[in-house]
């Protein structure tokens, strides 16, 4: 079992902020904003992989 959420570096402030923003958006039922955060985080996290 792998969690998509664990993508990214735990020490990275950007990853952390986007993860928090995503869960906050989900918490208030703002799914479009949550999706936005997820897309941004995925795109950003590519930089950690050196790709």
Pick 8 or 25: Cβ nearer Zn ion: 8
Pick 31 or 42: Cβ nearer Zn ion: 42
Based on the shown chain and the rule CB under 5 A, indicate whether residue 14 belongs to the binding site for Zn ion.
Answer: yes
Report the alpha-carbon distance of residue 26 to residue 19 in Å, rounded. 11
Closest residue (Cβ) to Zn ion? 12
Question: For residue 35, what are its two tokens?
Answer: 């999706």
For 43, the 3-state DSSP assignment is: helix
Based on the shown chain and the rule CB under 5 A, indicate whether residue 40 belongs to the binding site for Zn ion.
Answer: no
Question: For residue 26, what are its two tokens?
Answer: 């989900």
Residues that bind Zn ion (CB under 5 A): 8, 12, 14-15
């Amino acid at each position: 079992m792998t969690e998509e959420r664990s993508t990214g570096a735990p020490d990275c402030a950007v990853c952390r902020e986007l993860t928090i923003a995503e869960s906050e958006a989900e918490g208030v039922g703002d799914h479009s904003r949550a999706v936005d955060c997820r897309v941004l985080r995925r795109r950003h996290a590519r930089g950690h992989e050196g790709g």
